Structure 1
Amino acid sequence: MSTHKSALSTPRQRLIELLQRLNFGRVEHLRVRAGEPVLDPPPATVREHKFAGENGPRPEAGRPDVVLKAQHLDLMALLDAIGNGTVTVLTVKHGLPFSAEVPG
């Protein structure tokens, strides 16, 4: 798998951008079809507000050719493994996927 966001499918790019805009929080009930995130309709998001902390979007949000981190690649592998299903909760820290809860 390529290590640049621009090499990802459009739905995967949109998911990365969603995580970067969220920065801290979680994505709930993210549907996955054929290994691709379904963002229409958008999944529920819950933003974590950090007092006297970093609350805006990540500086790289919206940049077209961001180098993917190991966490992004792990998330893409998880989507591939799910195939068709749901990520119940995707926790986001510093704009990166931190952990995921998936059914059984």
Structure 2
Amino acid sequence: MVASDKAGLSAPRRALVELVQERNFGRVEHLPVRGGEPVLDPPPRVVREVKLGGENDPRPERALANFRLKRQWVELFELFDAVGDGTVDVLEFKNGLPFKALVADPAR
């Protein structure tokens, strides 16, 4: 069962939430997942999208110790649990929330 708030997350999941909220728009490339947990050491490649004339600051909730997770986070962490050990090739995020994940599945 995936935690419903930030404080209930494991340290790696909490770090990923904070990384995405810090960048706000962009993508994480080749994110390893081990035992259902994102691996951030060494840091994955993060490509930040800069919105010209738009809002590029970190999300304000990044500084909060706790808040209720939006559905996108819960679904992403459920995906990590399903992947177990693997790689998320691309994790795209918008407005500090996961938007789309590309995961290669083995051919059967």
- TM over 0.5: same fold? yes
Counterpart-to-counterpart distance in 1, 2:26 and 2:3:
27
Counterpart-to-counterpart distance in 1, 2:39 and 2:89:
13
Q: Could you tell me which runs of 5 or more consecutive residues in structure 1 were left unpaired when the two chains were aligned.
A: none
C-alpha distance after superposition, 1:47-66 (max 9, x if no partner): 00101101111011132102
Counterpart-to-counterpart distance in 2, 1:60 and 1:51:
22
Which residue in the other structure is 1:59 paired with? 60
Counterpart-to-counterpart distance in 2, 1:2 and 1:36:
13
C-alpha distance after superposition, 1:12-52 (max 9, x if no partner): 00011011011000000000000000000011000001011
CA contact under 8 A between 2:3 and 2:74: conserved in structure 1? no
**Structure 2 length normalisation: TM-score?**
0.93
Alignment coverage as a number of residue pairs: 104
Detail structure 1 runs of 4+ shifted over 6 Å in the superposition.
none
Q: Could you tell me which runs of 5 or more consecutive residues in structure 2 were left unpaired when the two chains were aligned.
A: none
Q: Identity, % of aligned pairs?
A: 57
Which residue in the other structure is 2:94 paired with? 93
Q: Within 5 A, what are the aligned runs for 1:11-30?
A: 11-30=12-31
- RMSD of aligned C-alpha atoms? 0.8
Larger radius of gyration: 2
Counterpart-to-counterpart distance in 2, 1:66 and 1:23:
17
**Structure 1 length normalisation: TM-score?**
0.96
Indicate the SS of the match to 1:26.
Answer: strand
